[in-house]
Chains A and B, each alone.
Chain A
Amino acid sequence: MSGRALAAAVRSGDRSARSVVDEHLAAIRSGEPEIHAFNLVLADEARAAADEVDRRVAAGEDPGVLTGVPVAIKDNMCTRGVPTTCSSRILEGWRPPYDATVVERLAAAGAVLVGKTNLDEFAMGSSTENSAFGATRNPLDTTKVPGGSSGGSAAAVAAGFVPLSLGSDTGGSIRQPAALCGVVGVKPTYGAVSRYGLVAFASSLDQIGPFARTVSDAALFLEVIGGHDPLDSTSIPGAAADLTSVLDRGVEGMRIGIIEELSGDGLEGIAGDVRARLGEAAAALEAAGATVETTSVPSTVYGLSAYYVIAPAEASSNLARYDGVRFGLRVDAPNSGDMHTATRTAGFGDEVKRRIMLGTYALSAGYYDAYYGKSQKVRTLIVNDFAMAYGTYDLLLSPTAPTTAFPIGEKTADPMTMYLNDVCTIPSNLAGHPSMSVPFGVGDDGMPVGVQVLAPAMGEPVMFRAAAVLEAAAPPGASS
């Protein structure tokens, strides 16, 4: 059942929030041991919150558009008094004294938080294997990864543990796991959703967004969490865009470009079955009245390289605060410098350390211009190239990920191979544009394939219209 339908049932009194929550907690109890989508299941808190929702409904109140809907959030979003780990040892024992803005907003809409989901440590990874608490498994094939870094949130929705969840996307961390798990995942325009309370990885790229099983649910959830927040200086002024009421307007007359550099023969590693589904998706959009053609956005091919300078550079600074002084893990030593080193050595995993070192190097005196400076220029080029393309096209299209879900352990030994998973998703982060992954059939292995719809800044309404068309036209998905 969709989140929208559940909310309607609870609001109308057909179902109690408590029964909805209990049903989902039961699904978690049975499936979670194998999937490991969660770092923390808040069963008691969720039941209490559901009872409160029921009390309010009984009293004639309307708790909101997500009344009684169970939701899960990625464990890098702060929850007051509830552990927030980022799947890292270094945050051991830390309970934030405040809620992230998105947590406040989902509660204000009547949603019930049932747990916090697993991720690659500090959102650094594409498989949710870089977690200090163990990997999450793909519910559709538990020998496969769910993608990452928001693999826990994607798996929780795919497994039916919750109808809705939140992830964060810095270079594809919502869209890629959505594709690999066969669900809808949205990275909104940079600034559309408040980052206040999201533990930062790369501040200029991070963005929170929804996972859902339907395009309509994703739209509804994005409306709830979006809109201006004075606590985030990069938050866009004004209310969240209206998405749910434009969903069914179709794509008649739209011009849509397939990004050649991210889809065609030019890019190694895009699997044939993924390309085939992309072609079918394009045909579906054409059938619905859009004009679809291949186009070039040349600088997108440099996105991956620029990203792996900019994101680690920002991360090296954002992650400096984990020093053992004020919160989380502390490994004692005779002086503060040694204490910092001992704490960070023990607290961070290998991938986090790798990126901190990369970023520190890229910002160092004498190297800044060659790495960080040059990467920012690439970023500007990508923005310009997108602007050029959007002068002609309403939307762009590409695969979300190069392949379907890969086996657990397959890419952990070679970071570069893992990084290549984000080649199609990174350009949107660098440009600050919205994009989303819509499930569109399966690959040769029967695992889901995602198609990425890209839009210019603030282009979510048009993007969701195309996503709805793709959803309606999609061949049957994978089943667990």
Chain B
Amino acid sequence: MTGAPEIVPGWETVIGLEVHAELATVTKMFSGAPNRFGGDPNTNIDPVSLGLPGSLPVLNGHAVELAIRVGLALNCRIQRSVFARKNYFYPDMPKDFQISQYDLPINGEGWLELADGRRIGIERAHLEEDTGKSTHVGGGGRIHEAGHSLVDYNRAGVPLIEIVGRPDLRGSEDARAYVSELRSILIAIGASDGKMEEGSMRVDCNVSVRPVGQAELGTRCEVKNINSLRSLGRAIEYEARRQVDIVTSGERVEQQTRHWNEDEGRTHKLRSKEEAFDYRYFPEPDLMPVEPSEEWIAEIRSALPLLPRERRHRLAAVAGVDTGATALTVERGLDDLAVATIGAGADAGRVLVHLENNLADGVGLLTAGSFAALVAMETGGDLTATQAKTVLADLVATGGDPIAHAASHGFEAMDTSELEALVNRLIAEHPDDWAGFVGGDDRERRKKSGFFVGHVMRATQGQADGRIVNELLALRAAKQGG
């Protein structure tokens, strides 16, 4: 049991994702034509990307390097690989076959770790070339009603890595978390820009359902045309409900490829298993097998930056928290600052609270040194939480020394005895409220606590530390009770 929320109560949704990501090379996979998004149609082309007769592919070494980076980042076995031709006719595919990898992919088995520490299996991550793009003119853009179609081959031959995940995901949240993590990894290692909206990262989704507790997998359907994380979640939920409806009405789910329609919020059948293409794969005779040397792989490995998973583990270790508690900070790219600040002696809890709550818009001129000094003032009682937040904003905006900023605001630590006198005075002035604090239920006590803290803050123009006021109130009440 994973505890994933059930889309339909009593049913488990099993998901495996196939993610295509365009690799961030300068030129295409098999020729010198530019790999560039946008541009006028059919300008980033050459004889190879048009599949002209007599043209031959020459493998782009940078694409191989990026694929190996992906493999290493996904803990895959890097292996000797062979390109294969995947044969099918389509106007936006220049050669009417796609050069891909079939039985010998460059990256074998691996895994990806989600922020909560669960590992999702990776079956393989192989290299292939992208196709061109068809635009159907007239008939509302639908291929069957279109008057004619235009094809842009700028994208044809752009290198892709196809990352095939195991059916280890259990709901739309899981699927989104997986794609987000994968995207962060691809960006971190410079393999892809991960832009789903530009189509440089595309997700096909295999969904099946089974009663909770059943070990055997249900029949899956593959859903295509998912263009955002939001669509991914919606498509999974729609598809899970559709399949559960079929099974509960006594029918069987047919293995199909289905198309997600974002506007209608539903999937519809593209083809059944019987209608699936026979791709007639065979080894690509125009290319040699790719046999990366151990030395090269080691070199690529040593040049890899820290991965999101490693960053979470590093921060969790330094801060003494679960990896899940570090996810947001790592996602925002603030973990280097967090680690340095904590390393400079600052309280880890306060550092993470500030990073998550008070630094969402960026860290500006804040440095680990000034951040650590600020947190030290705060934990040392020299600044209240509210004051610290103000000074933090100053450090972000202008940098400098937190002591100077605190002084410029007139923030000074209040003497506890001074605060105690004030609290005693307020108790004397408001006996009914005090009685409510001492004798009331939890809710009443919280309410009255707020009342007294509010008065103290007003009286001190916010310079008092609310935590200390609460402690003083509790102390007095305890004495009274005793």
Q: Give chain A's interface residues, CB within 8 Å of chain B.
A: 77-78, 84, 86, 91, 94, 96-98, 100, 195-200, 202-204, 230-234, 313-314, 316-317, 320-321, 323, 325-327, 335-337, 340, 360, 363-365, 368, 372
Residue of B nearest to A196 (CB): B56
Q: Can you list 28 A-B contacts with CB-CB less than 8 angstroms, sorted by A residue number?
A: A78-B52, A84-B54, A96-B52, A96-B53, A97-B52, A196-B56, A197-B55, A200-B286, A202-B285, A203-B286, A233-B58, A233-B286, A314-B285, A317-B87, A317-B282, A321-B94, A325-B91, A325-B151, A326-B50, A326-B94, A327-B53, A335-B144, A336-B90, A337-B89, A363-B280, A368-B280, A368-B282, A372-B282
Q: Is B288 an interface residue (CB 8 A)?
A: yes
In contact, A77 and B151 (Cβ under 8 angstroms): no
Taken residue by residue from 221 to 255, chain B's Cβ proximity to chain A (1 for < 8 Å, 0 otherwise) reads as: 00000000000000000000000000000000000
Taken residue by residue from 77 to 90, chain B's Cβ proximity to chain A (1 for < 8 Å, 0 otherwise) reads as: 00000000101011
Shortest A338–chain B CB gap in Å is 11
In contact, B58 and A323 (Cβ under 8 angstroms): no
In contact, B95 and A320 (Cβ under 8 angstroms): yes
Size of chain B's interface in residues, with CB distance under 8 A? 32
Q: How far is the CA of A335 from the CA of B145 in the complex (A)?
A: 10
Chain A interface, DSSP helix/strand/loop, else mixed: loop
Q: Is B43 an interface residue (CB 8 A)?
A: no
Shortest B356–chain A CB gap in Å is 51
B-chain residues with CB within 8 Å of residue A202 when the two chains form the complex:
285
Q: How far is the CA of A8 from the CA of B182 in the complex (A)?
A: 66
Shortest A75–chain B CB gap in Å is 12
Q: Known contacts A321-B95, A326-B94: does B89 contact A340 (CB below 8 Å)? A: yes
Shortest A477–chain B CB gap in Å is 34
Which residues 46-68 of B sit at the A interface, judged by CB distance below 8 A?
Answer: 47, 50-59
In contact, A203 and B47 (Cβ under 8 angstroms): no
Q: How far is the CA of A393 from the CA of B305 in the complex (A)?
A: 56
In contact, A233 and B288 (Cβ under 8 angstroms): yes
Q: Known contacts A84-B53, A98-B47, A363-B87: does B96 contact A323 (CB below 8 Å)? A: yes
Q: Is B149 an interface residue (CB 8 A)?
A: yes
B-chain residues with CB within 8 Å of residue A365 when the two chains form the complex:
278, 280
B54 partner, pick from A77, A204, A316, A337, beta carbons under 8 A: A77
Shortest B278–chain A CB gap in Å is 5
Q: How far is the CA of A327 from the CA of B151 in the complex (A)?
A: 13
Q: Is B11 an interface residue (CB 8 A)?
A: no
B-chain residues with CB within 8 Å of residue A84 when the two chains form the complex:
53-54
Q: How far is the CA of A321 from the CA of B50 in the complex (A)?
A: 10
Shortest A321–chain B CB gap in Å is 5
Q: How far is the CA of A113 from the CA of B438 in the complex (A)?
A: 107
Residue of A nearest to B88 (CB): A320
A-chain residues with CB within 8 Å of residue B51 when the two chains form the complex:
321, 326
Residue of B nearest to A197 (CB): B54
B-chain residues with CB within 8 Å of residue A203 when the two chains form the complex:
285-286
B-chain residues with CB within 8 Å of residue A230 when the two chains form the complex:
58
Q: Is B287 an interface residue (CB 8 A)?
A: yes
A323 partner, pick from B56, B89, B149, beta carbons under 8 A: B89
A198 partner, pick from B54, B97, B149, beta carbons under 8 A: B54
Q: Known contacts A317-B85, A317-B97: does B91 contact A323 (CB below 8 Å)? A: yes
In contact, B95 and A97 (Cβ under 8 angstroms): no
A-chain residues with CB within 8 Å of residue B285 when the two chains form the complex:
202-204, 234, 314
B-chain residues with CB within 8 Å of residue A340 when the two chains form the complex:
89
In contact, A91 and B53 (Cβ under 8 angstroms): yes
A-chain residues with CB within 8 Å of residue B280 when the two chains form the complex:
316-317, 360, 363-365, 368
Q: How far is the CA of A314 from the CA of B54 in the complex (A)?
A: 14
Q: Which of B59, B85, B90, B286 has the most CB of A within 10 A?
A: B286
A-chain residues with CB within 8 Å of residue B59 when the two chains form the complex:
233
A195 partner, pick from B56, B87, B282, B287, beta carbons under 8 A: B56
B278 partner, pick from A100, A336, A337, A364, beta carbons under 8 A: A364
Q: How far is the CA of A98 from the CA of B85 in the complex (A)?
A: 25
B-chain residues with CB within 8 Å of residue A199 when the two chains form the complex:
53-54
A-chain residues with CB within 8 Å of residue B143 when the two chains form the complex:
335
Q: How far is the CA of A98 from the CA of B56 in the complex (A)?
A: 12
Which 6 interchain pairs have the tightest Cβ spacing? A320-B96, A204-B285, A363-B280, A203-B285, A199-B53, A78-B54
